[in-house]
Amino acid sequence: MLKTLALPLLHISEQAAIASFPWIGSGDKNAADGAATTVMRDGLNQLPIDARVVIGEGELDEAPMLHINELLGQGGLPVDIAVDPIEGTVLTVNNQSNALTTLALAPRGALLHAPDMYMEKLAVGPKGKDAVDINWSIETNLLNLSQALGKDVRELNVAIQHRERHESLVNRMRTLGAKVQLFDEGDVTYALATAMEHTGIDLFIGTGGAPEGVVAAVGLKCLGGKMQGKLKPISDEEVQRCLMMGLTDPNMTLEHEDLVKSDDCLFVGTGITDSILMQGVKLDRQSGFETESLLLSGQDQYSRLIKAYSPAHTECVTTASFS
Residue-wise pLDDT tens digits, 208-220: 988 899 999 999 9
**% residues pLDDT > 70 (the chain):** 93
Confidence of residue 63 (pLDDT cuts 50, 70, 90): very low
- Give the pLDDT of residue 114: 66
Domain 118-259 carries which CATH code?
3.40.190.90
Q: Which long-range contacts (CB under 8 A, 24 or more apart) does 151-156 make?
A: 151/202, 152/177, 153/177, 153/178, 154/178, 154/179, 155/179, 156/202, 156/203
Per the CB < 8 A criterion, the answer to whether 65 and 91 are in contact is no
Cα–Cα separations (whole angstroms), residue 155 to 174, 201, 278? 12, 10, 24
Domain boundaries, the chain: 2-111+265-318, 118-259
Query: H helices of the chain, where?
Result: 6-20, 29-44, 89-93, 138-149, 167-176, 187-193, 210-223, 236-244, 256-259
3-state secondary structure at position 110: coil
147-200 pLDDT tens trace: 999 999 999 999 999 999 999 999 999 999 999 999 998 999 999 999 999 999
3-state secondary structure at position 39: helix
- Give the pLDDT of residue 58: 43
User: Annotated binding site for Mn(2+): which residue ranges?
Assistant: 33, 57, 84, 87, 212
Record: fold of 2-111+265-318: Fructose-1,6-Bisphosphatase; Chain A, domain 1 (3.30.540)
Q: How large is the average pLDDT for residues 253-259?
A: 95
User: Annotated binding site: which residue ranges?
Assistant: 33, 57, 84, 87, 212
Q: How large is the average pLDDT for residues 229-256?
A: 87
Measured CA to CA, the distance from residue 225 to residue 218 in angstroms comes to 10
Per the CB < 8 A criterion, the answer to whether 209 and 86 are in contact is no
Backbone dihedral angles phi then psi of residue 301, each to the nearest 5 degrees: 50, 45
